[in-house]
Amino acid sequence: AKPIVAVVGRPNVGKSTFFNRIAGKRISIVEDQPGVTRDRIYTEAEWLNIPFTMIDTGGIEPDTKDIILSQMRKQAEIAIETADVIVFMVDGKEGLTAADQDVANMLRKTKKPVLLVANKVDTKDLPDTFYDFYQLGLGEPMAISSANGLGLGDLLDEIVARF
């Protein structure tokens, strides 16, 4: 079976933008309002002739009583169970948040490879807050821009190296 890559992270970090860019088409809904993607959305993709399946989990919003958000969290948990490689996306512009910490606490329990990715780093200069992401305990963050493609090739290299 093809390897499965799941993209997880709190709402509004750019998961759907990333997913659509890798898919090469607009499948997942990108919204300024957090939490718009409510279902796991699948696409077939490939890098260096290596095919894989990618899932846009729709985000993880921990410890919430909101039904929509807790549903999304459940979907992300299912995606984490299903995935061979997990891309954990944070917002490099906004910096580290408590919600990122909570998601990281979930992800540190899996033995599966987790790639920590700071999205919205739209230039080659890293923001000062970039180094805070080391506190998540998930290794070295990779900087990407799903909007303009910066760093995406390096990330895809790292993803397929873990299949």
Which stretch, 5-13, 45-53, 72-80, 107-115, contacts ligand GDP (CB under 6 A)? 5-13
3-state secondary structure of 50: strand
| Contact by Cβ (8 Å): 70, 61 | yes
Between helices 67-82 and 98-107, what is the axis angle to 10°? Answer: 40
Between helices 15-23 and 152-161, what is the axis angle to 10°? Answer: 80
Of these, 4, 23, 27, 30, which contacts ligand GDP (CB under 6 A)? 30
Of 160, 10, 30, the C-alpha closest to 73 is 10
Number of residue whose CB is nearest ligand GDP? 14
Write out the binding residues for ligand GDP, residues 47-86 only, by CB under 6 A: 59
Of these, 13, 20, 37, 118, which contacts Mg ion (CB under 5 A)? 37
Q: What is the DSSP string of 90-158?
A: EETTT---HHHHHHHHHHTT--S-EEEEEE---SSSPPGGGGGGGGGSS-PPEE--TTT-TTHHHHHHH
Which is nearer to Mg ion, 16 or 119 (by Cβ)?
Answer: 16
Which is nearer to ligand GDP, 85 or 103 (by Cβ)?
Answer: 103
Residue 153 labeled ligand binder:
no
Residue 40 contacts ligand GDP per CB under 6 A: no
Of these, 5, 6, 8, 13, which contacts ligand GDP (CB under 6 A)? 13
Which is nearer to Mg ion, 61 or 139 (by Cβ)?
Answer: 61
Which residues sit in the known binding site for GTP?
A: 9-16, 56-60, 119-122
Residues within the interface to Mg ion (CB under 5 A): 15-16, 37
Which residues sit in the known binding site?
A: 9-16, 56-60, 119-122
